[in-house]
Structure 1
């Protein structure tokens, strides 16, 4: 990174040939004497300024905002070290990893949604899903069954495509949050009927909500793709609100 030193030298001139006719020292805490503030005493059309105090190139305080000492004119940010820029750059491995996560998560939820909606893959269909929800204490199960199955099915497709990812991931997170709350009494591990499986799926949906879908996605370039934290925060609020409505209002 280069620092352009535009401070006057001991003779009152500037160290390079660049013009400083528009420079106003009083704006930066420098003082001018009357005899030095008029044109003359140097090249035609230039001003010479008297600087209060000796300027130390290595004095950090000279670059502070106190108005005294040297003026730090500008920094050339185009000469950053290549290694540091490369280390912070998004890489293809992250895109591939997010693509695999999306495809796996999308397939799981599409399959579960198809079980609930259509009775596919040995599922119980809408009637069986409604009966299962009724045993969990839910009301209006004829509405809740297609809502749950439809959320899993549609959101799974969208996640796999990387389309409307914040909304889709929020839907999956809300469904899994309900599953975790309802199954908490059974413990954690899956072999005992615990919440291990929905907890992992919910964590994957939460991670995808904040990372975004990656660049191999239909969302690339969209507004929510360019603002992942903002869109993830909104999606998280939607997930929490939807989960609360289902648990508190329909049970």
Structure 2
């Protein structure tokens, strides 16, 4: 009888500790990943953090075949900034994950010919960002987020699949418009 009561008492704190650890891990992942991505977007849009700024960014998009560069370059900067901030805050997480995942699918496509690990020219970073965004789409933001314990908080398989489908559709449409325009 003593063994049973001891195992019951230790099971609850271990489970609670595991949930707390998961929430802290999600917080760290969301904040670091989201703010880094938002910083990339602000480089494109505003020239912050030694970025090119909107005019040079849009010209670079033109050179990569995204015409008009002003549309696609601005869209990329906005997606990185808004998606990154949504993930960092844990607000509307499936939407933030879909925005980021769609953007990173286009990044992977654009850099795919460079190979996986080729000195910054490959698609390694895009793949890493896409993986983090997809993982957050399925897990949700965790307890320590704007959406934590709110009725509209979403996560799980259904919302993860919805976010991935929306991201893939958006990325495919972007790549189709790139080749058509």
Q: Pick from 35, 41, 63: which aligns with 1:113?
A: 41
Alignment pair present for 1:144 and 2:144: no
Among residues 87, 91, 95, which one is paired with 2:19 in the alignment?
A: 91
Greater relative contact order structure (CA < 8 Å, 6+ sep) = 2
Question: Is 1:185 aligned to residue 135 of structure 2?
Answer: no
What are the residue-to-residue correspondences of 1:173-212 with 2, within 5 Å?
A: 173-191=101-119, 193-212=121-140
Distance 1:91 1:241, change over 3 A: same
TM-aligned CA deviation for residue 145 of structure 1: 1.4
Of 222, 230, 235, 2:163 maps to 235
In proportion to residue count, which structure has more helix?
2
- The whole-number CA distance in structure 1 between the counterparts of 2:82 and 2:19 is 29
Instruction: Give the TM-score of the pair, scaled to structure 2.
Output: 0.86
Deviation at 1:109, TM superposition (A): 0.8
Q: Looking at CA atoms only, which structure, 1 or 2, has the larger radius of gyration? A: 1
On the 8 A contact 1:107/1:156 being kept in 2, the answer is yes
Partner Cα separation in structure 1 for residue 168 and residue 151 of structure 2: 23
Who is 1:135 aligned against? 63
**Equivalent in 83, 99, 110 of residue 155 of structure 1:** 83
Q: Give 1:164's aligned residue.
A: 92
Change (3 A) 1:223 1:237: farther
Q: CA deviation at 1:250?
A: 2.5
In structure 2, C-alpha distance between the alignment counterparts of 1:115 and 1:192, rounded to whole Å: 18
Gaps spanning 5+ residues in structure 2: where? 1-6
Structure 1 match to 2:4: none
